[in-house]
Structure 1
Amino acid sequence: MKFTIIRVLAIILMAGEDRGDIVTRHTNVKCEIFDKSFVEFPVCRLKVLGRGIIGENVYIKLLKLPVKAIMLNFGIYKKLSGYHPFLINVTVDFCHYIKHPNPLTVFHLFYSGFKSYINLNHTCPYNVSTITHDIILKDFVLTDQMYAKIPLPKGSYMFSLKLGAEGVWRGIVYSYFDINVDNNPNIHF
């Protein structure tokens, strides 16, 4: 009788244990505009693409063209008692990076992760002569391979991407996500 109760409790605990099935997932996305005459965010939301698969969609509409200089400031914040800076906070001249990509920079690791989901892939200037001058991030899903070179410990994080043009900050996108890499047996460092 005692052995059966212990076995049942062990099975219940093992069934309730997180096995790493959901390793990373988006939890929220927020977009904030600093200059409403320059940029707007018609779409800034998460979309459920399947069971346990959440895609991030952000549509950035540029209102004043041409844009000759783009700056990006990105940072990672970890949730402790509020969100605090964690590991990375870098500002990049995006126009220079697109002309001369450097695979040794931290920005290259992050950009290569979402490059296939975004149309921000040509050099400056962004002007009327191009087919679409709006920036579209569509169905961006976090994958395990994104954390192979920069492993982040288990926890809740916020990724901020501040957008600047012509030397002035125009808007910011906050992407919130959870990581459960510690319990995933498929990731080896």
Structure 2
Amino acid sequence: MKFVAVRVLALVFVTLECSGDIKTRHTNIKCETLDKSVLEFPVCRLKVLGRGIIGASAHLKFRKLPLRSILINLSSWKRVSGYQPFLFNVTVDFCRYIKHPNPLNFFHYFYLGIRTFINLNHTCPYNHDIILKDFVLNDKMFAKVPFPKDSYMFSIKFATNGVWTGIINSYLDINVDGDYDFAEWTTLYNSIML
């Protein structure tokens, strides 16, 4: 029993050490309207805010207000000969989530990361446009889920009042300048566990 506790502590220290080296960077953002009678994107761009700091901005202009129900599908994709599904694909009833946040859902970590940059901070209905302004990736956002060094795409698909209306694809690199190597972490993990 004592040996198991030592292994667990060693694994926690290795994970903390590796997650401290994470470096992230936005590389692109693309917005697509699926129903032009409901939604348009006047703004969808990346902007350099400072040396090495890139902010993502998107403005979702809805033509049919109020929004009484919002579904959000969040999925991650890893670049491997094109983008392939990776790790998670969750759909959340956003109006319900705002009333009853669930910290066990992966969407909760996503929302905590963007909530200070977006005006979705109250319960439904929404009588205004949705604006994401100068969202900067924080290296600590990926500390809970250790992503391997690579390029990723986060796809955010919106349904309003029962109709899928738009998609935002955010592209990012993880460990651009960091020296963290997933193969090295795996070797270290295996040596501790054996």
TM-score by length of 1: 0.81
Question: Which whole-Å CA distance do the structure 1 matches of 2:66 and 2:133 have between them?
Answer: 23
- Find the residue that maps to 1:183 and give its secondary structure: coil
Partner of 1:83: 83
Task: Show CA shifts across 1:65-92 (max 9, x none).
Answer: 1111100001000001000000010000
Report whether the alignment pairs 1:179 with 2:168. Answer: no
The structural deviation recorded for 1:33 is 0.2
Matched residues, number: 162
After superposition, residues 60-99 of structure 1 pair within 5 angstroms as 60-99=60-99
- Find the residue that maps to 1:173 and give its secondary structure: strand
Task: Could you tell me which runs of 5 or more consecutive residues in structure 2 were left unpaired when the two chains were aligned.
Answer: 1-19, 181-194
Using the TM superposition, name which of 173-182 and 109-118 deviates more.
173-182
Partner of 2:59: 59
The structural deviation recorded for 1:21 is 8.8
Task: Show CA shifts across 1:10-30 (max 9, x none).
Answer: xxxxxxxxxx99811000000
TM-score by length of 2: 0.79
- Alpha carbons 2:31, 2:167 under 8 Å: kept: yes
- Find the residue that maps to 1:108 and give its secondary structure: helix
After superposition, residues 134-145 of structure 1 pair within 5 angstroms as 134-145=129-140
Give structure 1 regions of 4+ aligned residues with deviation exceeding 3 angstroms: none
CA-atom RMSD in angstroms: 2.0
Question: Which whole-Å CA distance do the structure 2 matches of 1:123 and 1:111 have between them?
Answer: 14
Question: Identity, % of aligned pairs?
Answer: 67
Partner of 1:115: 115
Partner of 2:44: 44
* Larger gyration radius, structure 1 or structure 2: 1
Whichever residue aligns with residue 78 of structure 1, its letter is: K
The structural deviation recorded for 1:121 is 1.0
Partner of 2:151: 156
